[in-house]
Structure formats: C-alpha cells, structure tokens
Amino acid sequence: MNDWHLTQLTFGSDRSRYHAHSYYDVPVMDAPGRHIVAHRVGFAERQPTVDDAIELGVIDTEQPGSWQPLGESRAWSWQQGPLAQWIAGGPRLVWNDREGDRFVARVVDTDSGARRTLPAPVYTVDPDGRFALSLNMARLDTLRPGYGYPGGSGARLDQRRPDDDGVWRLDLAAEQAPEVILPLSRAVDFLQDQLPWWQRLRHAASRYHYWFNHAKLSPNGQRFTVKLRWRKPTGPWSDLMGVSLTCGVDGQDLRLLADATSHVIWLNDSQAYFWRRGELALFEDGAPRGHRLSAIAPELIDSNVHIRHLPPEATDSPTLFVLDTPYREVVDLNLYDPVAGTQRRIAQFSGHLPVRGPFRCDLHPCPSADGNRIVVTSLEDGGRQVYLLTRAADATEGALA
C-alpha cells in the first residue's frame, strides 16, 4: 500500500501556461512545507532568449491551482529556473533576474512585501540566511549552455582562468559589493598541483578555458563544494572534464573532493554523495583530497539520478533517500532505505519526452524540511506542472515493503 498521496498543484498545459520549481538542491519549500516558490513560462522546447521573461509566484499547497504572483525574471534556464529559493525557511525568498546586461537577484519578504535588489545573482544560500554564493552566469552560459543565463556581459572569454572572477560571497544584509573568495586562477593552480604529470601536460597543451558551476553550501554553512570544469570554447566537452572542489566560506582550506562528479549533495558537514564513474558514491571531504567511503545502493542504482536524503538535516545515518529515474519516458520516484537495503516506487510519471537534451523535464525531487512532503515537476499532463507528494500522518519511516 502506498502511504504517499500525489496532488497536482498547477495547471494550464492546454493553454501553454507551464510551471516548474527550481533545482532539486535548493529549498523551494518554506520551513513549514506549505508554500512553494515556482515560476510560470509560456513556451516549451526552445532555449530562452534575452526577451523571454518568466513570472515568479508562490503556490499554497493547501489550495491546488493557487498562484500568488511576485515578479518576473529574465535570468533563467530550463534545468534550474532562476534558482528561486526561500532564505532560511522564509518568509523571505530570492531569485535571479537581469537588468540590462547585468545579472542581479531579487529579495522579497512575502509577509511585508518589502523588496530589495542584490548586485549579483545568487546560486546557493547560507542555511541561516546570512550570505549567498554567486557565480559568473554569463561565463557559465557561454561555456556550458543550459545552466547560465543569456544576455549578460562579463563572460571574460579573453581569459582562460581570470584571477578576479570565480566564486563570490554576497552578504544578504549589508549594502556592499560581492567579494571573490575563490578565484578561478587559484582553483586551477590547486588542481594542477593535484594532477599527475601527464594530465598537467594535457591541460597546458590544450589551453583550456575554465569555469565554475553547481555551488552548494554545507549544512552548517562553513564550507562549500563547487564544480571546476574546463573545455576549449569551440571543442567537445564531457563529464570527465571537471572536478568537484570544496573550500571554506572564507576562501581558505581548498580541497579536491573527486573528479568526474555529478549531482553532488552534502550528507553532513564532512561527507558528500554523488554519481561518479558508474556508481552513487559517498566521499569524505578530506584534505588535500577526498576519499571514497562506500557506494550507495550499488545493487539498485546503476545510472545517474537526482537524489536527496530525508529529512535534509545533517545525519550520519539517514533514514530514507528519495530519487528519480531520469532520462526515460516513464519516470519513477523511489524511496530507498539504506538500512534495509530496499527500494520502492511511490509515484510514476509518464510523457517525459524528450528523454534527453536541454528541453527534457527531470522530476528534480525536493523534500520539505521535515521530510514529509516532496515537490516534483513533471510532464504528466502534457506540459511542465508542479506536483506534491505528501506522506500519510501515520506512515512509518523506512517501512519499504
């Protein structure tokens, strides 16, 4: 018997009114789990242009079909939206936008209506709401289309590894300019020190361009992980052309977590899990390099997935994981119990075409703070819409019959 109830929260596919939440690793639900920040778009299956604006709004999970508009954005992508997320559980939330050729972030207090504009885009927010980390979204859009935003200046492609660009720290309270805490040049120098001689020679001969993507703060907000990637601007690129680094939020204690990583999530303040080389691996954030601890569910997970643990508080022994099965027409949402070593499907969504490419729609399961609700975006009714799974009040955690 399924102890999770599925509810469709947004509608309008027949009128080209599509809805989605931002990426699976940002808090799109407020602390009580009642309100979801999402976005509305009026087209599908083409890349956004500089003129394509989306509407930001809040969904009340107790009123399917509700939509409280908050503003709009011209800085978004299909996979991650405008990275709209709640700050420290609410009532403030933040999303990225563009003013002319400059990317900014909008902060809105949903209780008071107060609004502010930050001088840089936001990628990941400190759990306590003190600061955010920012990346060069113009450079990201140029070197890895589909994750950055079009229309911005400052891609800096005349420089392969700029020393005044990289990971920026942005104070959410003070009116001050963001500060570069991890320059690209220092990250590349560190990487070179960690590589064997033959890989160092390859980097030197290829004259790669480097960029950052996928920043994620640890649960205590003291460290972050970020992907350092490289390619020739007109050459091929693969998942093997990148590593995940970790660093203190003061820019010190830089470490190499692992190479060829995908979908990195902090398990706790010292461990992270991610897809790597054919397995879902758990790594210790060691200095100067991380080390593999184990594989997660090797008998069940044999391809890349979007996975989160429930609840998302740091713990050495999480009770449950939630994961999707992307890159297929019929996508499952599964729960995995690492203690029992069992997995079961709690929902299934059809119509996910195309299964790959920039216009695919992944579920991107994102749990609430207490682990009793999971928000997903699906093509089940013919277009992108937001759905909610709610666990029955009397359900037993970890009971995966």
The Cα 154–Cα 139 span in angstroms is: 7
The pLDDT assigned to 18 comes to 98
DSSP letter assigned to residue 231: E
Q: Quick one: which of 49, 56, 179 has its CA closest to 120?
A: 179
Pairing between β-strand 307-310 and β-strand 115-118 as defined by DSSP bridges: unpaired
Structure tokens, 186:
């220092």
Structure tokens, 256:
């190499």
Instruction: Write the single-letter amino acid at 361.
Output: C
DSSP letter assigned to residue 130: S
Run means of pLDDT, 10 residues per run, the chain, 401 residues: 91 98 97 97 94 97 98 96 98 98 97 96 97 98 92 95 97 90 98 95 95 97 98 88 98 97 95 96 97 94 93 56 96 92 94 95 95 96 98 56 34
* Residue 95 bridge partners (DSSP): 106
b vs e for 27-50, b when ≥16 Cβ sit within 10 Å of the residue's Cβ?
A: bbbbeebbbbbbbbbeeeeeebee
Sheet holding 209-217, edge to edge: 209-217, 223-231, 242-248, 255-259
The Cα 130–Cα 212 span in angstroms is: 22
The pLDDT assigned to 197 comes to 95
Ordered by where they begin, the domains of the chain are 4-391 (2.130.10.10)
DSSP element (H, E) containing 138: helix 137-143
Structure tokens, 288:
């100067």
The pLDDT assigned to 340 comes to 83
Q: Quick one: which of 345, 308, 262, 348 has its CA closest to 29?
A: 308
Q: Quick one: which of 142, 170, 168 has its CA closest to 156?
A: 142
Collapsed DSSP state (helix, strand, coil) of residue 379: coil
